[in-house]
Structure 1
Amino acid sequence: MQSAADLARSVLPTGMVAGQWTRRRPISWVSLAAILISLFSLLPLAFIIWIAVQTGWE
């Protein structure tokens, strides 16, 4: 059987323990690079949509 503290932790939102918010860690450089690369990979799709709108596709 789980203790009361374990049960309370499982119900509370992430980052909240015993009514106190814990500090969030800053984003790592790997996560930042992954976000930038994923946004960069969307550029061809944006280009295709932009050209389709410019050529009269509605």
Structure 2
Amino acid sequence: MAAFLPIGGVLATLVGMGAAWVLGFSTSASTFVAVIVTVLCVLVATFALARARARALRTTA
């Protein structure tokens, strides 16, 4: 599980930068919210995938 988390952190950073870029790196509240939501979605997906993988490996062992 721990191996997935740094990868997810990097992906979340890249996705957050992409969302900010699409919205023109403005300092408006909508850009702030969009970046936070996209980063959180990537982090939640990373954690869910890592947990699913860990549970799958645990049941097969």
Give the TM-score range, shorter chain: 0.3 to 0.5
TM (norm. structure 1) is: 0.37
Structure of larger gyration radius: 1
Higher relative contact order (CA 8 A, sep 6+): 2
TM (norm. structure 2) is: 0.36
